[in-house]
Amino acid sequence: MRVAFTFPGQGSQSVGMGKDLADAFPQAAQVFAEVDDALGEKLSATIWDGPEETLTLTANAQPALMAVSIAAIRVMEARGLRLADHVAFVAGHSLGEYSALCAAGTFSLADTARLLRIRGNAMQAAVPVGKGAMAAIIGLEHGDVVQICADAASLGSCQIANDNGGGQIVVSGEKDAVEKAAALASEKGAKRALLLPVSAPFHSSLMAPAADAMRDALAGVTKHNPVVPLIANVRAAAVIDAGEIADLLVEQVTGQVRWRETIEWFVANDVTTLYEIGAGKVLTGLARRIDKSVSGVTINTPADIESALATLLA
């Protein structure tokens, strides 16, 4: 009977997220103030008041989602939660990996905010607009999509970006190749194969310039071993060495987010409950589709925190 904390990725953001936490708890308000100071701007105003198109920009959405997650964590810590005592593992989906590492003490809050701002800008700048694309393929097995990417590669780079489980796989790469992959997936019997409204081909080889930027950025920040192991996106296995984690975060920029395998790893290692810390409930839904034996709990409101603490601290 073990517990893991998971942290959401891009796409979970919404205008107003975290405002009820900041209004209810001074520890949450302090997190948003620290992120604002670290970035030298009032990101909190964009998070709470919009406009939505500004919040959705990659360079804003990434630190914004992290801020909401850590606001919840800081409130829980103030009420007696200690990650090392109550949680066995942490994991995060793409940018959520940084939230997980901030929660587990690898990076300071200010450094995490700055790293995610660098990451967002670097990912956006890595590929000219219109050159890359991403597509969601629903209803095919992982091996089928690997073959589809290989077949589409005659038109350019194409690879699996996210294996989200439950028959949901996202491919990423050059636009012509991704469009070809979507067409091939439909021919193979996919339930759906649709291009995603994203601004860049994340988690593909085209992101190599962003990986270089993150290697430099990560080299310049203080890192500590996390207080509980991280289940790393690109490895779907536990890691606790800070230097190794930094290398994997660089690899993650161009590599596959192996979320299905991450949930399967949790199940194999006696994790029975996954708490999704932060905005939305995407990861809870994915976990339910991957393995119904796992219990999923979302924590993003004051009431959620009260309920979770009653269980975790019992």
Active site residues: 94, 203
Instruction: Identify the residue whose tokens are 């801020």.
Output: 67
Tokens 């073959």 found at: 147
Burial class (CB in 10 A: 0-12, 13-18, 19+), 286: buried
Q: Is 80 exposed, middle or buried (0-12, 13-18, 19+ CB in 10 A)?
A: exposed
**What is the C-alpha separation between 67 and 258, in angstroms, rounded?**
24
DSSP-derived letter for residue 15 is T
- Cα 187 to Cα 152, 155, 180, 190, distances in angstroms: 13, 18, 11, 7
CA distances from 219 to 75, 159, 169, 206, 214 (A): 30, 28, 32, 22, 8
d(CA 304, CA 64): 20
Environment class of residue 32 by beta-carbon count within 10 Å: exposed (0-12), middle (13-18) or buried (19+)? Answer: buried
Among residues 79, 76, 39, 74, which one has the least CA distance to residue 60?
Answer: 39
Please, are residues 21 and 28 in contact by the beta-carbon 8 Å criterion? yes
Which contiguous run of DSSP H or E holds residue 274? strand 271-277
Letter for the amino acid at 273?
T
